Amino acid sequence: MTKKQLRVGLIGYGFMGRTHANAYTSVGHFFESGHAPELTAVCARDGARAKAFAEQWGIKSVETDWRKIVARDDIDLIDIASPNDTHEEIAIAAAQAGKMVVCEKPLGRNATESRAMVDAVEKAGVANMVWYNYRRVPAVTLAKQLIDEGRLGRIFHYRAKFLQDWTIAADLPQGGEGLWRLDKDVAGSGVTGDLLAHCIDTAMWLNGAIDSVSGMTETFIKERTHTIKGGMQKVTIDDACAFLARFANGSLATFEATRYARGHKALYTLEINGENASIFWDLHDLHRLEFFDHKDEGRTRGWRSVHVTDGDHPYMDHWWVPGLQIGYEHTFIHQVADFLKGLDEGKPAAPTFREALATDLVTDAVLKSAETGRWEKAT
């Protein structure tokens, strides 16, 4: 089959730059498509480091200004893997230049930015997608299949948390490389837009729209040195956030995220309780789905731990033999595979910018509720 080349301009070579570069490089070895991605250029502000990255990943060219990559005729797709304050400007410019755009989450620093990005890609009619990769963990996709098949029945409860502990030290600075997540101007918000955005995207994908929220946030360390502005500066991001939510389907939810849960590095868990069955998933054991089915025969009824590695499990027929598990990096490969499939079939790949905007509306409502002390509409 003659494949259509998809020439990618990758912006950012950090944590996500590496996961994306790996995904474009690997996808064609495991998934069939009429489109073949090629990493054509990488852009980052530090030319020497971008060049080293390009050599490591076999990328032909390097730019240090994203405007140049967006203007190039030999690029079809702009992939935004840079910090949150860059997303809006790059995405809008890329769409106006007629490029397809894929963007890291959260889409914007707030829903106003995200809405402008949605308008730009829809006006330009270009393919677009946001990297909410946890949807593509096979066990989470299996949960979606079971819910859509009605195996849980009416859903009563949704419970999610995402716990880390890397900002407890009071002498950790804010701002700059590796620490931009602590700087509100760059990140938009703290754990709400960073960690809870993932939980919210998965939750709405599995259980439908969130109608209203009531949240609380805290900033435990009030001042930190700022690596760019210099001196001690006020910390204005939320270090921790917990919120209650009502879904449009009538179910109740609790969400919690923090970077102050000593001992936890990336504990993302979700639990869903339905009339007939319950589901539990834990990122630390990402290849397992815990499933309780009340219809099971009484004496042996209990929680089953499904090892999601068999050929009839989502995505797994593309990988090894049954029983051998895959990991975190594969979720990004699956996301590229689904994007390419969308291009083959002329269909959007989820979540589109518009679908990801819904998450930013929820995070905005949570932060507003934390200020007003009232329930806020999330749509």
**At CA 61, angle to CA 60 and CA 67, rounded to 5?**
145
Q: How far is the CB of 134 from ligand NAD (least distance, A)?
A: 7
C-alpha separations of 340 from 30, 344, 358, 373 in Å? 13, 6, 24, 44
Please report whether residue 13 would count as binding ligand NAD according to CB under 6 A.
Answer: yes
Please report whether residue 199 would count as binding ligand NAD according to CB under 6 A.
Answer: no
Question: Helix or strand or coil: residue 14?
Answer: coil
Residue of 41, 43, 182, 245 that binds ligand NAD (CB under 6 A) = 43
Please report whether residue 370 would count as binding ligand NAD according to CB under 6 A.
Answer: no
Q: How far is the CB of 296 from ligand NAD (least distance, A)?
A: 35
Q: Whose structure tokens read 């495991």?
A: 30
Residue of 33, 40, 61, 84 that binds ligand NAD (CB under 6 A) = 84
Please report whether residue 131 would count as binding ligand NAD according to CB under 6 A.
Answer: yes
Stretches 38-46, 218-226, 283-291, 311-319: which one binds ligand NAD (CB under 6 A)? 38-46
Stretches 28-36, 81-89, 117-125, 251-259: which one binds ligand NAD (CB under 6 A)? 81-89
Residue nearest to ligand NAD (CB): 14
Closest CA to 243 of 333, 159, 358: 159
Question: What binding mask, one character per residue, do residues 148-187 give for ligand NAD by CB under 6 A, x or -?
Answer: ------------------------------x---------
Please report whether residue 257 would count as binding ligand NAD according to CB under 6 A.
Answer: no
Query: What region, left, alpha or beta, does residue 134 occupy, with left being phi > 0 and alpha being psi -120 to 50 degrees?
Result: alpha
Q: How far is the CB of 88 from ligand NAD (least distance, A)?
A: 11
Closest CA to 360 of 235, 214, 196, 246: 196
- According to DSSP, residue 154 is labeled S
CB 257 within 8 A of CB 163: yes
Please report whether residue 201 would count as binding ligand NAD according to CB under 6 A.
Answer: no
Question: Helix or strand or coil: residue 85?
Answer: helix
**C-alpha–C-alpha distance, residues 74 and 91, integer Å:** 17
Nearer to ligand NAD, 78 or 147 (CB): 78
**C-alpha–C-alpha distance, residues 98 and 107, integer Å:** 19
Nearer to ligand NAD, 10 or 308 (CB): 10
Q: Whose structure tokens read 């700087």?
A: 183
Rg (CA), the chain: 21
Residues lying near ligand NAD in the complex (CB under 6 A) are found at 11-17, 43-45, 66, 81-84, 86, 104-105, 131, 133, 178, 194
